[in-house]
Amino acid sequence: MRGLVQKLLQLALVLATCVSGAAAIAETRGAIIFSSARQDGSFNQLAHVGTQRAVDQFNLAVEEWILADEDDLSEVLRAFAKVDVNHILLIGYDHSAAVREVAPVYPDVKFTVIDGVVSDLPNVRSIVFSEQEGGFIAGYVAGLKSATRHVATIGGMDIPPVRRFMCGFVAGAKHADPGIEVDTAFVGLYITAFRDISGAQALAEQHYMEGADVIFAPAGFAAEGVAKAAGKTDGFVIMVDANQNGLVPGSVLTSALKRVDEAAFSAWKSAVDGSWTPGMSTMSVRENGVDWAVDDHNRALVADFEGEVEKVKEDLATGRVRIEPAPELQECAAVL
Q: What is the DSSP letter of 40?
A: S
Judgement on whether residues 158 and 213 belong to the same structural domain of the protein: yes
Q: Is residue 297 part of a domain?
A: no
Judgement on whether residues 97 and 55 belong to the same structural domain of the protein: yes
- Provide φ and ψ at 280, rounded to 5°: -130, 140
pLDDT at position 122? 98
- Across the chain, what does the average pLDDT equal? 91
Q: Is residue 167 part of a domain?
A: yes
Judgement on whether residues 236 and 135 belong to the same structural domain of the protein: yes
Q: Is residue 56 part of a domain?
A: yes
pLDDT at position 217? 98
pLDDT in tens, 305-320: 999 999 999 999 999 9
Judgement on whether residues 204 and 101 belong to the same structural domain of the protein: no
Q: Is residue 289 part of a domain?
A: no
Judgement on whether residues 101 and 155 belong to the same structural domain of the protein: no
Q: Is residue 108 part of a domain?
A: yes
CA nearest neighbour of 187 among 227, 162, 229, 219:
219
Judgement on whether residues 119 and 139 belong to the same structural domain of the protein: no
pLDDT band at 20 (very low <50, low <70, confident <90, very high): very low
Q: Is residue 83 part of a domain?
A: yes
Least confident of 7-11, 144-148, 228-232, 292-296: 7-11
Judgement on whether residues 146 and 248 belong to the same structural domain of the protein: yes
Judgement on whether residues 100 and 191 belong to the same structural domain of the protein: no
pLDDT at position 40? 72
Greatest Cα pair distance, the chain, in angstroms, is 63
Look at the alpha carbons of 38, 44, 49, 50 in this order and tell me if their dihedral is positive or negative: negative
CA distances from 10 to 3, 4, 24, 79, 304 (A): 11, 10, 20, 11, 56
pLDDT in tens, 214-266: 999 999 999 999 999 999 999 999 999 999 999 999 999 999 999 999 999 99
pLDDT in tens, 29-66: 999 999 876 777 678 899 999 999 999 999 998 999 99
Domain total of the chain:
2
Judgement on whether residues 276 and 322 belong to the same structural domain of the protein: no
Q: Which domain holds residue 231?
A: 131-257+304-335
The CATH number linked to 240 is: 3.40.50.2300
Strand arrangement, sheet containing 290-292: 181-186, 150-155, 214-216, 236-241, 252-258, 290-292
Judgement on whether residues 239 and 325 belong to the same structural domain of the protein: yes
pLDDT in tens, 2-11: 555 556 555 5
Q: Is residue 311 part of a domain?
A: yes
Judgement on whether residues 123 and 223 belong to the same structural domain of the protein: no
CA nearest neighbour of 87 among 280, 260, 278:
278
pLDDT in tens, 149-179: 999 999 999 999 999 999 999 999 999 999 9
- Provide φ and ψ at 237, rounded to 5°: -125, 145
Q: Is residue 290 part of a domain?
A: no
Judgement on whether residues 114 and 190 belong to the same structural domain of the protein: no
